[in-house]
Chain A
């Protein structure tokens, strides 16, 4: 029966599907928490994952940040022209990059890069029985595959996003002094105008939560993969979509909780 013929059944099926999905994610998260005690398995893999998920993500993160900073400066100048002093461009660039665009845009980019990478890698391992092989060799696959990735991303997302914030502001500054006829002193004056150190903490807390969410979701969909190449593709897509949505939800959550 099609959706149009029986919308009630469709809604019911969708509700059951999403509820059972949440239940499975809860069970997976619990298993993840339990696997933490297997330190001998995951600890030695964290540094490798920090390089893979963090350091190798820097180029894309910085690329996004520099253009965001530049565009923000131009748009701020356009918006303020004739009404607000020019140095407010620095205030808007700094505040917006640190509080919102640095963490969120970088987080979304990493949800694509990191989330897709993890879901595809673990999904392929699932459908080729490599995860079963880990189990038969006496490894807890969650301790071996999930914990190091989640720990590494939770530690490294704040580092990547701190660089993004800095490079974004630098992008705004270079744009301001070259295209907006502003001096460095003016830009810095604006930057310092509303700056409070808590803004940086806020940005880094968000970043850590994005790292945790993106990797845990990527691992969850990777582990849940079935059905060969098609299944891997489906898991990868779901990991990116759900990971991106979760970033926006967390972004709103932290704004309500901490500001």
Chain B
């Protein structure tokens, strides 16, 4: 079982964002999706849980075509996928505890089990003791950790991270990167991590896919991408815009 994208196309008006994208994420692996801002990385991630619907092509999760799922089956699928949003997307009128408990309440988990699972999830992201705080009382890094705790509370099979380290200082970035690896290791989840941060991508990913102009430009291991001769890939990973511009 895995996540598979087959010839996925998505456009907003005249602007084609994803153009015939095909990609497979194998069970248990961590795939980093890299690329310039606005290239469609978040669109790709949102297409997997049908927050956005592709114009063409199929997204297949655990053998089920996501576009064909009726309402209840779709919500059932979404419960198997944890989603960590770029800016955490915590419910700002709720405490940290209630935020993390939301997914568990949805599946009618007994109250004592909710308390235990919230505690475990917050422990995993090292946010114990913050249960009664409101999101407005947390720093950016803490919010991202709570967002991660909320995503893992229901013990999902897949975790999708939308730029988990954007806007964080280098130390917090490293901590979040470590958490991503820890989730994969301890919870045995399959992960897709959308990121700009090559340092994080090299550390956490088993494979890296680069999106460029709506298409997959490269897929390979961190070692392979570092040896790539493609000027677009090299320009991005080494931070040399001239290389990419020449190739374009």
A and B: interacting chains: yes
A-side residues, CB < 8 A to B, are 34, 125, 128-130, 132-140
Partner-binding segment picked from B25-33, B73-81, B167-175, B189-197: B73-81
Which 9 residue pairs across A and B have the least CB separation, nearest first?
Answer: A136-B83, A129-B89, A133-B89, A137-B103, A138-B79, A138-B106, A138-B75, A129-B85, A132-B51
Q: CA–CA, A136 to B91, complex, Å?
A: 13
Give the residues in chain A near B87, CB-CB below 8 Å.
128-129
Shortest distance from the beta carbon of A182 to any chain B beta carbon, whole Å: 50
Distance between Cα atoms of A140 and B107 in the complex (Å): 13
Q: Are B78 and A137 in contact (CB under 8 A)?
A: yes
Given A129-B87, A130-B92, A132-B89, the answer on whether A137 and B102 have CB atoms closer than 8 Å is yes
Contact of B78 with A133 in the complex, beta carbons under 8 Å: no
A139: chain B residues at CB < 8 Å are: 75, 102, 106
Overall SS of chain A's interface:
helix
Chain B: minimal CB distance from A18 (Å)? 20
- The reply to whether B75 and A140 contact each other, CB–CB distance below 8 Å, is yes
Chain A's closest residue to B46 (CB) is A132
Q: In the complex the two chains form, what is the Cα distance from A133 to B81 in whole Å?
A: 12
Question: Could you tell me if A137 and B49 are in contact, using CB atoms closer than 8 angstroms?
Answer: no
Least Cβ distance of A209 to chain B in Å? 29
Taking A133-B91, A135-B49 as given, write out 14 further A-B residue pairs in contact, using a Cβ cutoff of 8 Å, ordered by the A residue number.
Answer: A128-B87, A129-B85, A129-B86, A130-B90, A132-B51, A133-B85, A135-B51, A135-B78, A136-B151, A137-B102, A137-B150, A138-B78, A139-B102, A140-B75
Number of B positions contacting A (CB below 8 A): 25
Number of A-B pairs, beta carbon distance below 8 Å: 54
Partner of B85, one of A34, A125, A132, A138: A132
26 A-B pairs with CB atoms under 8 Å apart are: A128-B87, A129-B85, A129-B86, A130-B89, A130-B90, A130-B91, A132-B46, A132-B51, A132-B83, A132-B89, A133-B85, A133-B89, A133-B91, A135-B78, A136-B51, A136-B78, A136-B83, A136-B151, A137-B79, A137-B106, A138-B76, A138-B103, A138-B106, A138-B107, A139-B106, A140-B71
Complex: A171 Cα to B38 Cα, angstroms:
60
CB-CB under 8 A from B102, the residues of chain A are 134, 137, 139
Cβ of B156 to closest chain A Cβ, rounded Å: 10
Write out the residue numbers on chain B whose beta carbons fall within 8 Å of the beta carbon of A129: 85-87, 89
Task: Tell me which residues across on chain A come within 8 A of B75, comparing CB atoms.
Answer: 138-140
Contact check, B106 vs A136: say whether CB atoms are below 8 A apart.
Answer: no
Most chain B CB inside 10 Å of its own CB: which residue of A128, A132, A135, A136: A136
Nearest B residue to A131 via CB reads B89
| Residue of B with least CB distance to A35 | B71
User: Cα distance A159–B78 when bound, in Å?
Assistant: 40
**Chain B neighbourhood of A34, CB < 8 A:** 71
Q: Which residues of B (56-98) have their CB < 8 Å from a CB of A? A: 71, 75-76, 78-79, 81-83, 85-87, 89-92
Inter-chain contact A136/B81, CB cutoff 8 Å: yes
Q: How far is the CB of A136 from chain B (nearest CB, A)?
A: 4
